Structures are given as C-alpha cells and as structure tokens.
Amino acid sequence: MKKWLGLVFCLVFALGCQQEEGGQQVDGAEKTGGAMRFVTIGTGGVTGVYYPVGGAISKLVNAKRQELNLRTTVESTGGSVFNVNALMNGDLELGVVQSDLQYQAYQGKGEWDGQPQEKLRAMFALHPEAVTIIAAVDANINGVEDLKEKIVNIGAPGTGQRVNAMDLFRVAGIDADSELTAEGIKPAEAAGMLQDGRIDAYFYTVGHPNGSVKEAAAGTRQIKFVPVADQYVEKLTAEQPYYAPADIPIEPYPGVSNEEPVPTFGVKATICTSSEVPEEVIYNITKTTFENLDQLQTLHPALEVLTKENMLQGLSAPFHPGAEKYFKEIGLIQE
C-alpha cells in the first residue's frame, strides 16, 4: 500500500510541476494537446535594437502559445555572424541577421569565404539599419578621412558593424591596420569609453533611436554623427545589392552637434532560420507576426516603418518553406 501511495504522490507532484501560475501547462499538452515546442531567438547586445525587436516577436508568439504549442525565448548574442553560425549549428532556431551578412553567409563570402551556409533560410525583414559613426566633437572628425590616426571602435569580431566599417575603409582607401587604432569592443561599452576619452569615435550599425547612442549624446563630452560622403555611398551601393543610402535622424538625440539628418549608408535587419526547423513552426511564427503587424509597430520605434511589403525586401537567402507558404496564402508572392 505504501508503495502505491508513493507512486500516486510522485505522479501528482510531476503533474503539479507542469503547471504555471494560473494553471497553464508549459511543457506538455496545452489546449491543442500537442507537445510544446521551444524556440530561441538570437538577437544582439541588450542596448541595441536587435534585442527588443526579438523580444517583440517573442511577445506576439507567446501570447498564442496555448494555441500554437510554441514558446519563444530571447537570447542576447554577439550579433549577426554569431547568429548565423548558431543557426547552422542548431543552437538557435531563429536569429536576427543583417541583410549583408545574410547574403555573404549564403553565398560563402566574407566571414564564410568558400563555405556557403546552404542551410540558411530567410523568413522576413525588419527595420532599416544605418551605419552610424559617432565621434567626439573635440576629436575634429568631420568626414571618414579624418578617422585616420584616431582611436576608433569598429566593433567586436563577428559583428555586422565591423564588416560595414571595413567595407567603408576599403572604398575610402583607409588601411585600418596601419592608419588608425582599431578597437573591437561592444557598442554597449563604446559610449562610456567615448565619454571617458579612451576612444575618439565608434561605429554602430543600428536602427534608430538607440539606447547606446542616447547614452553617448547625453554625456558631458559633446558628440556628432560623421557623414559618409556621397562618393563612398555610391560605390558601396553599386558594388553590393544589400546596401542602400540612409539618413541618421537627429531628433532622438538632443545632445548631438549636427543640425540636420546625417547621410550614410545602411542595411536591413532580417529574421533568419535553418532549413532544419520544421515548416509548421516557421509558418506559425511568420503568420502570427504578420497578422499582428499593427501591434508589432508599437513595440519599438524602429518598427514603426514596417509594412507587409517592405518586410520582404533585403532578403537574399531562399525563403524557408514555412514562411513561403504563408506569403503565398496572402498573395505577397505568387505561386
């Protein structure tokens, strides 16, 4: 009898452990009775836009977790290159990836020279990202050429801004190894280092407004956005299909010395996945995101410009079958 009572107690305890507050099960059968699927979204640093954007998508999906049997979590990561590699290794199911690095990864260029990431799949695009150069006014940096002989943070290895910085240096004829002191720190640390006088400028490819840039603009050391000359923008956009002209707004940053939007170039943030993630999972996440686009637009200022049409721009890897199925259903792409 004691053995049976012990068994019953264990079963009751196990069932109790499956309950969330409010009595919802999280790892077994919810309303639909299927097994719960867990999905991790790789983003970027917590001060950037990738992290809250990933959180916004996660919020939409988790609101329907009982119906979809899907639960998403958001992971702060090293950025685009890390996310692509983690997707290919099966460590992430979704990842935010700059459009230029999506192209390079699938084609086997740049960081993946000679090793095309053939399992990489596109889902949809998000906000535009401007290649932003933030400099201290007292460093006398008025153009890209003035970065020579300065201490410049170009981003940690594996980040999109480091790739963009090197592309810009190439067309501007600047040797980053010999003509300036290049640092490789995270943007979350760069604002403080700029204010402390340890660097003169830093690159950040990001959607605006951005917390790190606001931090830099609010400091006692006045900052400015460094414009990228038209000739360099024209070279970059002619060479690469994923680059486009962009402007950095100054309204969100009262402390900057610029008086009007600053010209530069940019890319787009995209959501990518792997061909090995089940079609149903990607279909449900894509559908939930698009059907709640009006809500998504309110979750972060960078997402206000989204439309169903521009969310299919800037994608160079093949669509995942789950995303493609939904886009065909609503007529965004033709059969």
- Could you tell me if 86 and 274 are in contact, meaning their C-beta atoms sit under 8 angstroms apart? no
Q: In terms of residues, how long is the chain?
A: 335
Better-predicted residue by pLDDT, 156 or 222: 222
Q: Is the pLDDT of residue 24 over 90?
A: no
Identify the CA nearest to 32 among candidates 56, 74, 64, 79.
64
Residue bearing tokens 């230029």: 100
Average model confidence (pLDDT) for the chain? 88
Q: Is the pLDDT of residue 210 over 60?
A: yes
| CA–CA dist 90, 276 (Å, integer) | 8
**Reduced to 3 states, what is the DSSP secondary structure of residue 17?**
helix
Q: Residue 303: its pLDDT value, please?
A: 87
Say yes or no: do domains 32-128+269-329 and 131-268 share a fold: yes
| CA–CA dist 286, 326 (Å, integer) | 7
H or E stretch at 151: strand 151-153
Q: Is the pLDDT of residue 227 over 70?
A: yes
- Could you tell me if 156 and 185 are in contact, meaning their C-beta atoms sit under 8 angstroms apart? yes
User: What is the tens place of the pLDDT at every residue in 41-70?
Assistant: 999 988 778 899 999 999 999 999 999 999
Query: Residue 244 — very low, low, confident or very high, per pLDDT cuts 50/70/90?
Result: confident
Q: Which of 5-9, 174-178, 235-239, 288-292 has the lowest mean pLDDT?
A: 5-9
User: What is the tens place of the pLDDT at every residue in 151-184?
Assistant: 999 988 877 789 899 999 999 999 999 999 999 9
| CA–CA dist 48, 96 (Å, integer) | 12
Global confidence as pTM: 0.71
| CA–CA dist 38, 15 (Å, integer) | 19
| CA–CA dist 230, 133 (Å, integer) | 15
Q: Is the pLDDT of residue 11 over 50?
A: no
Query: Residue 317 — very low, low, confident or very high, per pLDDT cuts 50/70/90?
Result: very high
Q: Is the pLDDT of residue 201 over 90?
A: yes
Mean pLDDT of 183-190: 88
Q: Residue 264: its pLDDT value, please?
A: 95
Q: Which of 12-26, 254-268, 273-287, 301-315 has the lowest mean pLDDT?
A: 12-26
Mean pLDDT of 136-143: 98
Mean pLDDT of 97-104: 92
- Could you tell me if 57 and 269 are in contact, meaning their C-beta atoms sit under 8 angstroms apart? no
Q: Which amino acid, residue 288?
A: T
* Domain locations along the chain: 32-128+269-329, 131-268
Q: Which of 12-21, 233-242, 321-330 has the lowest mean pLDDT?
A: 12-21
Q: Is the pLDDT of residue 281 over 70?
A: yes
CATH architecture assignment, domain 32-128+269-329: 3-Layer(aba) Sandwich (3.40)
Q: Out of 3.40.50.720, 3.40.190.10, 3.30.450.20, 3.40.50.300, select the CATH number for domain 131-268.
A: 3.40.190.10
